[in-house]
Amino acid sequence: MLYKKKNYFSVFFIFLSMLMIISCDDLSESLTSGLSDVFDNSQGVSDDLVQVPTGAYTITYYFNNGTGTSVDSQVKKNQKSSLSVPDESAAPVGKKFAGWVTDMISPTAIYLVGKEYDLSLYAKQENADEWKVKLYAYWINKDDYLVVYHANGAMSGKLPVIQIKSKGKELTIADSQLAKEGQLFYAWNTKKTGDGITYDARYRYKKQQSLVLYAKWILPREKPIRDMVITPTGIPAPADRRWISPKGFDYIVVTNENELEMIKNSNSQKYILWNDIVLTNDNFTPLSDIQHPFKGVLEGNGKSIIGLKIIQENSNSVGLFGVLSQSSIVQNLILDSPIVKGGSFVGGLVGKVIGKGAMNIEIVYVGIHNAKITTTSSDGVVGSLVGMGSMGIISSYAQAEVTASGMNAIAGGLVGKLEQNGKIYRSYATGTVEAINGIAGGLTGMARANSNIVNSYATASVRAAKYAGGAIGFADNQIQNIYATGHVSLTDTSGAVGGLVGNSDSGFVIIIVDNALCYFDADSSAQNRGVGKGSGNDRVLAYRKKDLIGMHKFPNWDFMRIWQWKGNSRWPILKWQSAAP
């Protein structure tokens, strides 16, 4: 018997790399061409060993309440085999044969008759010399259609199960729970190359035909500004407040304060700002809360919401949105001069994010300008952009005064507390961050295990009692290519302070790729250590004014796509920025 070693990559054991998914019922050549191998399930999560047959294995057919004449076949290892056809004249009443599946409970792949597959990786050992692959007939109603999903290179997560589209009824396109290293899930697409028809998760599919959908992956730096230039200045808003973008997104148009407040009445729609909105309410009510979290899309369209003011010191989950939940997206938006004060979980954009993490909840190209964000709770969590949560923050920034006074409070320049699986990419924070009795960091006060901060920086001044860090107060996460230049200080000398990280836990990892380190400004921070307490200090480099700052001082940072120099700045800024903050 041959043992094949699995690669260490993901928390989930999943077979995804080359899933062949197919539709049925008058399949066109475009849907079936090129489908050959099944997926390679040797890609796993540990150093366990996967057993595969060294010789032949048997394909055994089960007709699943139907009858047929398919004969078991012997197949040699790594040999592709055509699949037999059941006797459809003996199909269950009212049913038609769609294909073969290996899992009748939650099938994610379906195999067509007439196509060739290597099914050896499905083989299970029945006894010392016998290996068997079990295939089950998949019957559907004669008027039904299939929607099937292709992981398209994903390496972890869960592939949606096959969906059955009944005639005359809507079908909700599945959410993605997939992940691919170094890339983000964008949407589902009818072509593997991503240039077909795009379907967002939770889109209501109405067509009477089967559908094959491939996960569309994009690099974080390539995150599209969806429909950023779709509403040229001077075009009147549609009278019915409904607008279909060139990409097919169906939006509800928002033009004023009253229409903005109406979002709370329907929290799973797609909304688009048609123009800047100046708020006049002296105590604005958040657009969502924990009982009714926002699950839709707010497309800012490059516009601003000006003068947000929320004073709710006895409330939790306070911000423009109190709570964001699964599959929500906020993008291309500026919050200008927001003043937000609340209890626990306070942010300019959102107080709390709940859900399954950065694969599903995104904040993209959002700016917080001239903000004052405060928590008054003894254990409050506050950030200029987000109070607490697991989400993807991409190409966003904040210029704010962030304040927490509670004994166990946490404050961050972008996010108060970055939860597990959360991500911050190509973003920055400036201003001041204070938790005079608690924990504070220039980007985030606390970063939990399995969260990531990559290609980001902070210039905010930071002051805290327990842990104070130029970028992170307390770190139990992974970071890569980040720096901090703000002044960092303690209000209690028994605390831990560092130019980049105040205190690190056992899960803290500084990822070094091609000797690309992380940095802090030893002069402006007034600190000599990058990590005040804990591990990682040897991977953080201190720069001083006497040091010549230049591209050669940041070896192997990506100055072609992510970073740039502007003027006489001693530190690089991000490519999407027009000037240093």
Domain residue spans in the chain? Answer: 2-218, 283-574
CA distance 469 to 85: 65
Give the per-residue pLDDT at 226: 39
Give the per-residue pLDDT at 127: 76
Confidence bin at 68 (pLDDT 50/70/90): low
> Average pLDDT of the chain?
80
Give the per-residue pLDDT at 327: 81
Give the per-residue pLDDT at 234: 60
Percentage of the chain modeled with pLDDT above 90: 42
Question: Which residues touch 548 (CB under 8 Å, ≥6 apart)?
Answer: none
Structure confidence by residue, pLDDT tens digits, 33-46: 222 222 222 222 22
Question: What does each C-alpha distance from 242 to 239, 270, 271, 302, 383 come to in angstroms?
Answer: 8, 10, 9, 19, 34
Confidence bin at 344 (pLDDT 50/70/90): very high
Counting Cβ atoms within 10 Å, is residue 42 exposed (0-12), middle (13-18) or buried (19+)? middle
H or E segment and range at residue 555: none
Give the per-residue pLDDT at 514: 60
| pLDDT exceeds 80 at position 75 | no
Confidence bin at 581 (pLDDT 50/70/90): confident
CA distance 374 to 331: 23
User: What mean pLDDT is predicted for residues 447-474?
Assistant: 94
Structure confidence by residue, pLDDT tens digits, 401-423: 999 999 999 999 999 999 988 99
Give the per-residue pLDDT at 299: 92
Name the phi and psi angles at 46, rounded to 5: -150, -170
Q: Which single residue is written with the structure tokens 């903050």?
A: 581
| pLDDT exceeds 80 at position 441 | yes
Strand 163-165 relative to strand 171-172: parallel, antiparallel, unpaired?
Answer: unpaired
What torsion, rounded to 10 degrees, do the Cα atoms 180, 220, 424, 457 define? 140
CA distance 353 to 326: 9
User: What mean pLDDT is predicted for residues 320-344?
Assistant: 93
Who wins on pLDDT, 172 or 374? 374
Structure confidence by residue, pLDDT tens digits, 475-519: 988 888 999 999 999 999 999 999 999 999 877 777 766 667 899
Fold of 283-574: Pectate Lyase C-like (2.160.20)
> Residue 556: how many CA atoms within 13 Å on its side-chain side?
10
Give the per-residue pLDDT at 569: 78
> CB of 383 within 8 A of CB of 203?
no
Structure confidence by residue, pLDDT tens digits, 245-299: 766 778 999 999 999 999 999 988 999 999 999 999 999 999 999 999 999 999 9
Give the per-residue pLDDT at 384: 97
| pLDDT exceeds 70 at position 72 | no
User: What mean pLDDT is predicted for residues 359-369?
Assistant: 86
* SS3 state of residue 257: helix
Who wins on pLDDT, 433 or 191? 433
- Least confident piece of the model among 23-37, 93-107, 190-204, 486-500: 23-37
- Least confident piece of the model among 23-32, 78-87, 198-207: 23-32
> CB of 387 within 8 A of CB of 417?
yes
DSSP, residue by residue, 446-513: EE-TT-EEEEEEE--EEEESSEEESSEEEE-SEEEEEEE-S-EEESSTTSEEESSEEEE-TT-EE--S
H or E segment and range at residue 261: helix 257-261
Please name which of 305, 304, 296, 311 lies closest in space to residue 341, comparing C-alpha atoms.
311
User: What mean pLDDT is predicted for residues 515-533?
Assistant: 90
Q: Which single residue is written with the structure tokens 């909840």?
A: 361
Where residue 556 falls (left for φ over 0; alpha for ψ -120 to 50; beta otherwise) is left
User: What mean pLDDT is predicted for residues 7-30?
Assistant: 29
Give the per-residue pLDDT at 15: 30
User: What mean pLDDT is predicted for residues 108-126?
Assistant: 75
User: What mean pLDDT is predicted for residues 544-567?
Assistant: 80
Confidence bin at 333 (pLDDT 50/70/90): very high
Give the per-residue pLDDT at 217: 81
